[in-house]
Amino acid sequence: MDKLLEWSDELSVGIEEIDRQHQALVDILNELHNGIVQKRGSEACRTILGELIEYTRVHFTVEESLFRILAYPGYTIHKQEHEKLLEQIIGFQKKIQSGQASVTFELLHFLRNWLTHHILGTDKAYVPHLLAKGIERELPKKMFWKLW
């Protein structure tokens, strides 16, 4: 499988559940890339883009819930970044669904760059706060009910 983005230790934030979710986002992005490369068709690519948007929403909800529970001071700015990205990719999705655009390498590169910069910058910035507040590198199962 041809990869647009390779998961690496550099992308790890060191919190197991968050890393698993980031890896899933990378996997879906790579699946979308392969859909284009293999010319699977616009319908298949639209479906994968929809999956990427839905999983992104879930991931953002988990992160933002952790921020609220652990009183992360960068919560508002981080949430705004999440909202801006969702607006952008939903805008792309609407253009694609209406036939005004198609899933392109330009969109893929935008998503890859955003994800990479967001993880390496904004996401890694919250890790010291979460660890200082007692979050474990592996989130305790009892915490998941609070996230939703």
For the chain, give percent helix, strand, coil, nearest 5.
Answer: 75, 0, 25
pLDDT tens column, 44-94: 888 998 999 999 999 999 999 999 989 999 999 999 999 999 999 999 889
pLDDT tens column, 103-129: 888 888 999 999 999 999 999 999 999
Q: What is the SS3 assignment for 40?
A: coil
Q: In the chain, where are the structural domains located?
A: 14-147
User: Model-level pTM?
Assistant: 0.88
CATH of 14-147, one of 1.20.120.50, 1.20.120.1200, 1.20.960.40, 2.30.110.10: 1.20.120.50
